[in-house]
Structure 1
Amino acid sequence: MPHVPHTLDADAVRTWSSLAVTALGRARADIDAINVYPVADGDTGTNLLMTAESGARAVAAAFTAPGDGAAAPSLAESARAYAYGALIGARGNSGTILAQLLRGMAEVLDGPPGRPGEQLARALGRAAGSAYEAVAHPVEGTMLTVAAAAARAAATAAGSATEAAAGTPTEGGSETAAGAAPADVARAAYDAARTALDLTTGQLDVLGRAGVVDAGGCGLVAVLGALWQALSGQEPAPEPAPAHPAPVTGEQPAAAAGPCADEGRGGPAYEVVYLLEADDPAVAGLRARLDALGDSLVVVGGDRLWNVHVHVDDPGAAVEAGVEAGRPHRIRITHFGDERLRTRGERVQRAVVAVVPGEGLAGLCGEAGATTVLARPGEPPTPADLLDAVHRAHAREVVLLPNDAELRTIAAGAAEQARAEGVRVALIPTRSAVQGLAALAVHDPDGSFDEDVVAMTAAAGATRYGELAVAEARSFTSAGICQAGDVLGLIDGDIAVIGAELAGTAEAVLARMLGSGGELVTLVLGPEVPDALADRLQAYVRERHLAVDTVTYRGGRYSAPLLIGVE
C-alpha cells in the first residue's frame, strides 16, 4: 500500500519505526528459519521484531502529547526515542546490534542540521561504524557487513563518501550533496544492502555449508526497506523467501571466537543478556572481563545505560561482572541446550519456562532443559518478560513454572498471550523454586503433554517448601514479635520460627518440615552462606532421619539465604 512520502523529520522516524515492525513481522518466520549463525537457535527474526517493536513503542510515546499545546517531538528527539526504545528492548545478538545501529544514527540526527540527504548518509555511516565498535570481534558476512555496504552506498549517493564512511560531520559539501534527496539516499542504502546480503553466503563458511544468507543481515534489509518506504512513499517489492538451510552432517569446524563467530556445536552453553547502569570506564573493564569469559560479546548504549549480550559457560560469572561494573537488571539467561542441533525453523515439541531467584538456579534449571527468567528482589518479571521466554523456548507446548505465589497472576497473563499466538501452555502454580526443581525432576518431554503436566504438578504439590530470611524491621508475625536482624524461618509461605542465627533456625525449620515425613531434602544455599552450613544440615538430617536423602545446590546472587524443599 502506498504511503505519504516524508522529508527527513520526526514524522519520518515515526513512520519508519511502524513500517519496520510490519516488515519484520512479515519476514520473521523466514528469518528464524535461516538462523544458523552465530548460534543456530532459530530466533533471529523474533529477536529483531521484538527489538523493533520496543523502539516503535518509544517513538509512539514521544508523540503522545502530555497536554494541550504540547510541541511535537523534533527529529533529534524522535531518533533518540527510537534508539532508546530499541536499547531497552533489544533481544539477542541481532537485536542488540540493531539497537546500536539506531543509536549511531541518532547521534548524527541529534547534531547540527545539514542538507537532509547528506545528514542521512552520515547517520548511516555512523550507525555502521558504531556497530563495529560495539562488537568485540567483528566477522564479515554478517549484518555488520550489510550495514557497512549500505553506509557506503548512501555516502556515494549523497556525494560525500569519505565523510559518511567515517561517520564524521562533513565540512562544506558539494553540489551533488546539496541535491541529494533523503529518499534517494535511503534507496541507495537499501539496494546496496540487498546486494551485500546475497554475498554473505560466500563470506562465511557456516552460511555456505547451509546454503543461506545471514539472518541478521536479512532483517536489516527489511528495516532499510522500511526506511526507504517512509521517505519515498513507495512500497518495496516483496523479497523472495530465503532458501532454508541444507542439512549439515558431521561436526562443524569452529571459527575464531567472537560475537559473530561460528560456534559450531562446541560453543558456550548460555546466552546472558542484561541492561546495565554504569559509567564508561567501568564498562570498558566489563568488556575485557566478559571477552575473557566467553564470546558473542556485544555491549551497546551510552549515557550510563548499556545493553550487554554475551555467550558463556558460566552465567553467574557474567552477571557478577555486571554487578561489579554497575547495576544490572532485566537479566535473561538462556541455555542453548539442543538448539544447536535443531534444523532451522523447527519448533521443539515441548519446553519448560521457569522463573528463578538466582543465577545458580538458572544454570541448574537450564541444564535440566528449562528456559529461565531471572527474578531479582523487588523486581519481579513482567508478563512481557515471561512471554519473551516462551518465544525463546521456541516450542509448540510450554509448561510455565512461576515459582512464586505472587507471580501467578503475571504468569497467567503471559500464558494467555502465548495461547493467543498458538502455543499450548500449561501453568503449574509452583510457589517456590524448590517446587519448580521437583517438577523439573519428573519432566518427560517425550511423553504426552497432559500426562507430563499432571506428573509435574503432583511432584510440585508434594514438595513442602521452606525459606530463611532476615528481618529488616521489628514487626508482629504469626510466630511472635521479631526484631530487625532476626532470622525468620518460613514454612509454606508462613513464618514459623524466629531465631538468632542461621544454622539453629534452619535446623528448627527442618525439624518441623520433616515431622510429617519425607524422603528427600533439597537445600539451596544463598551467595553468602558458607558450605559448612550445608554440611551441618546434612549431618542433622542423617542423624535423625536415616531414610531421608539430602541434595545441596548453590542458588547464586539474588537467591534467599536458604531454600528448603522436602519431598
Structure 2
Amino acid sequence: MGEILDGAAVRRWSRIAAEALGRTRAEIDALNVFPVPDGDTGTNLHLTVLAAADAVAGLPGDAGTAEAWRALVQGALVGARGNSGVILSQILRGLAEIVGRPETCADREAFAEALGYAAVLAGNAVEHPVEGTILSVLDAAADAAAAAVEAGQEPPADPAATRAGPAGVARAAASGARRALRRTTAQLEVLERNGVVDAGAAGLCVVLDALVAVLSDEYPERYEVPARAAGRAVGRAPARDERDDPPGPGYEVMYLLDAEDESVPGLRESLDGLGDSLVVVGGGGLWNVHVHTDDAGAAIEAGLSAGRPHRVRVTCLHAGGGGRPQAPCAGRAVVAVTAAEGLAALFESGGARVVRREPGAVPPLAVLAEAILAAGDEVAVLPNEPEVLALAEAAAERAREGGARIAVVPSRASVQGLAALAVHDPLRRFDEDVIAMARAAGATRSGRLEVAAEEAVTSAGLCRPGDVLGLIDGDVAMIGAGVAEVARKMLDRMLPGGGELVTLIPGTYAPDGLAEELETHLREACPDVEVVVYDGGQVRFPLLIGVE
C-alpha cells in the first residue's frame, strides 16, 4: 500500500478503522463519563465508522479519490451516532475538503493542513467546546502534524518520493493525539474524579492509529486503549456517586435535517436554549443535529421550523430515570393525533385511541410515547399533520425500547388518517394491516380551506388578509373571496383525477349550509361519487376535504 490518501486508501482505512473500533468498543465504552455516563461512546463511534465504511464499500471498485472521500463523509454524516460520532463525521469532512482531491492526496503539507482545518470545523460545530475532550486531542494532533512538516524536511526532488509524505505526518499526529489523550484526565474534573481519559478522544486515537497502519502498511496486533483506574470494570461506564453533579438533561435527541444553510444559525440558537452537548454538522442542505435536552419535543419542533427533520432518534440518557419507557400493554391498537373535538370523536368511533394536541402545536413527546405504550404491543400511529410526523417517529422509537412493535402510518392530514382507520383490521397480521392502512392514506387526496391572516406570496399568487386559500395536498392551489366558491373550485380540481368517495368535514366557523351546498354541487357535477359529511369541530380550517 503506497503512502497516499487516494480512493483505495480511504476504502482500506474506513474498513480497518471500523474493525479497530469494533475490537476496542467495550474498552472505550468503559471510559464514558462525559458528557453523560451512559457507556456508549465506543459503540457510537464504531457504528458511525461502520456507516462510513459501508458507504465507501458500496462504490464501484474503480471509484476515484474524490468520489471515495465524498462517500466516506456522506456515510459518516448520515450514520453518525452520539455526540462523538457526530463530531467525528465533521472531522472526516474537514479532511476530505483538503486531501480529497487527486492533486493533494499524496501531499504531506496538505494532510497537515487538513487536520488543522478539521479541528476548526469540528470546534465550530460544537456550541460550547470543553477542554479535555475529543476536540482538545484533535487540536493536539493537528499541531503535531504541522510541527512534523515544519521540522524536517523539504520535499524530495524526485516527485515520486512525495508519496512517502503523509505516513510520517500521520504518525506524528497520532503520537501527538496519544500524548494529549493522557492529559485529558487532568483537564476535566469529571474525568479526574473517575480516573479515566476522555472516551471520545480515545476513539479518535484509534481512528488515527488505523490511518497510520494503512499509510505505512504496518498493522499492530491490537489497538491500545489507555488503562482505566484500578478496579474499573471493562465494558461498563464508571458509576456515579454522591459527589457527582446531578444528572443533566434527560434525553439525547438526534435527527438528520434537510435545511438551507442560512437557517442553521437560528436553529443553533433555539437548541442552545433547550439543552447542552449541542452539535450541528453538515452542509449543502443536509445536517446532522445532536442535543441533550429535557424537552425532546421542543428540540424536534426547532428542527421543523428550520427545515425537514427525518431519522429522528430520542434516547433516554439516565437509566432508571424519569421517562424511560415502561413495558407495553398487550394487544393491537391504533393511536391518532388530532386537535379538534369532532375529529377526535370520529377517530374514537373508529376504534382509535386519540392523543389531543393544541391547535397549531404538537403534543409532548412523553405524552405521545406513553399513549402508544398504553395502547398495546402492536400499534399503528396516525400523525394526521406534517408537523406531527417527525414527533410520531421519535415517540415510536422510544416506545420500541419497551419492546413494542410500532409503525407510523404517514398520514399528513386528518382525512388520510380517517381513510387509513377505515381499512384497519386487527385480525390481519400486523405488517399486512399497516401496509393496507398506508395504502389507503396514500390513495386519499387531501384538501383544506384556510383564511389568510396576513399578506403573503403563495404558489397561487399574492394573498391578502381575509382571502380564502384552497390548499391541495399542502400546497395553495387557489385564492378566492368566499368559502363556498373556493370549496366548489377545489372539488372540481380534485375530482377529475379520479375519485369514488368524497369526505367533507366542516369546521367550527364554516358558513351555515356549506355542506348541503357542496353536496348539491357534487350530485350535479359527479353523480356517481359518494359523499359523506362529518362535523369536525376544527377551529383553523373552515373545511377539510378528502377524495378517495
TM-score by length of 2: 0.62
Deviation at 1:340, TM superposition (A): 7.4
SS at match of 2:116: helix
Aligned match for 2:501, one of 466, 478, 482: 482
Q: CA deviation at 1:90?
A: 0.8
Residue 312 of structure 2 corresponds to residue 338 of structure 1? no
Structure 1 residues 90 and 37: alpha-carbon distance in aligned structure 2, compared to 1, 3 A threshold: same
* Residues 349-373 of structure 1 deviation map (CA, whole Å, 9 limit, x = unaligned): 9977999988746423667998x99
Q: Give the Cα–Cα distance (whole angstroms) in 2 for the partners of residues 281 and 289 of structure 1.
A: 14
Q: Residue 131 of structure 1 corresponds to which residue in structure 2?
A: 122
Letter in 1 for 2:367: L
Corresponding residue for residue 56 of structure 1: 53
Partners of 2:238 and 2:119 in 1: how far apart? 30
Cα deviation, residue 73, structure 1: 2.4
Q: Secondary structure at the match of 1:334?
A: strand
Give yes or no for contact 1:270–1:315 (8 Å, CA) kept in 2. yes
Are 2:268 and 1:249 equivalent residues in the alignment? no
| Partner Cα distance (1:121, 1:302) in 2 | 23
Residue 196 of structure 2, aligned match among 170, 191, 212:
212
Give the Å deviation of 1:113.
Answer: 2.4
Q: Where does residue 89 of structure 2 map in the other structure? A: 99
Which letter maps to 1:76?
A
2:303 aligns with: 322
Q: 2:29 aligns with which of 4, 28, 32?
A: 32
- Which one of the candidate residues 366, 384, 388 is aligned to 1:363? 366
Residue aligned with 1:402, SS: strand
Q: 1:189 aligns with which of 164, 173, 176?
A: 173
Q: Percent same amino acid among aligned pairs?
A: 46
Per-residue CA deviation, residues 121-152 of structure 1 (Å, 9 max, x unaligned), is: 11111111100010000001111111111111
Code of the residue aligned with 1:130 in structure 2: it is: L
Structure 2 equivalent of residue 502 of structure 1:
536
Q: Is the 8 A contact 2:24 2:225 kept in 1?
A: no
Following superposition, the deviation at residue 77 of structure 1 comes to 1.9
| Partner secondary structure for residue 404 of structure 2 | strand
Label 1:375 to 1:230 Cα distance change in 2 as closer, same or farther (>3 A).
Answer: farther
Equivalent AA in structure 1 for residue 52 of structure 2: G
Which residue in 1 is equivalent to 2:11? 14
| Distance change >3 Å, CA 91–CA 355, structure 1 → 2 | farther
Query: Aligned-pair RMSD on alpha carbons?
Result: 4.6
Post-superposition CA distance 1:13-68 (Å, at most 9, x none): 0000000110111111121222111111111111111111111111112235xxxx
User: Structure 1: how far apart are the matches of 2:240 and 2:154?
Assistant: 51
CA contact (8 A) 2:111 2:169 kept: yes
Alpha-carbon distance in structure 2 between the residues aligned to 1:486 and 1:298: 43
Bigger radius of gyration among the two = 2
Q: Is the 8 A contact 2:254 2:314 kept in 1?
A: yes
Rounded to whole Å, the distance in 2 between the matches of 1:357 and 1:290 is 28
Q: Which of 394, 404, 413 matches 1:400? A: 404
Q: CA deviation at 1:484?
A: 5.1
Of 188-197 and 14-23, the range deviating more from structure 2: 188-197
Structure 1 distance, partners of 2:129, 2:319, is 26
Q: Kindly tell me: are residues 92 and 116 of structure 1, through their superposed partners in 2, closer, same or farther at Cα, counting changes over 3 Å?
A: same
In structure 2, the gaps of 5 or more residues are 338-361, 374-378, 411-419, 422-429, 431-439, 448-490, 507-530, 541-548
Q: Give, in whole Å, the separation in 2 of the partners of 1:52 and 1:187.
A: 20
Change (3 A) 1:356 1:38: farther
> 1:104: how far off?
0.7
Assess if the C-alpha contact under 8 Å between 1:210 and 1:246 holds in 2. Answer: yes
C-alpha separation between the residues in 2 aligned to 1:60 and 1:305?
Answer: 22
- Distance change (3 Å), C-alpha of 1:181 and 1:296: same
In structure 2, distance between residues paired with 1:357 and 1:155: 58
Corresponding residue for 2:288?
307
Deviation per CA, 1:234-293: give whole Å up to 9, x if none. Answer: 11353156423655421523xxxxxxxxxx41x222211111111111111111111112
Contact persistence 1:135–1:298 (CA under 8 A): yes
How far has the Cα of 1:94 moved from its partner? 0.8
Displacement, 1:405?
8.8
Q: Distance in 2 between matches of 1:149 and 1:374?
A: 49
- Asked if the contact 1:19/1:226 (under 8 Å) is kept, the reply is yes
* Cross-structure match for 2:71: 81
Aligned to 1:159, the other structure's residue is in SS state helix
1:84 aligned partner, one-letter code: Q
Q: Distance in 2 between matches of 1:282 and 1:361?
A: 24
| Counterpart position of 2:99 | 109
Q: Aligned pair count?
A: 396
Letter of the structure 1 residue corresponding to residue 202 of structure 2: C
Distance 2:371 2:172 in 1: 49
Matched residue type, 1:363: A
Distance (whole Å) between structure 1 residues aligned to residue 56 and residue 363 of structure 2: 37
Match of 1:298 in 2: 279
Q: Is the 2:505–2:536 contact (alpha carbons within 8 Å) kept by the matching residues of 1? A: no
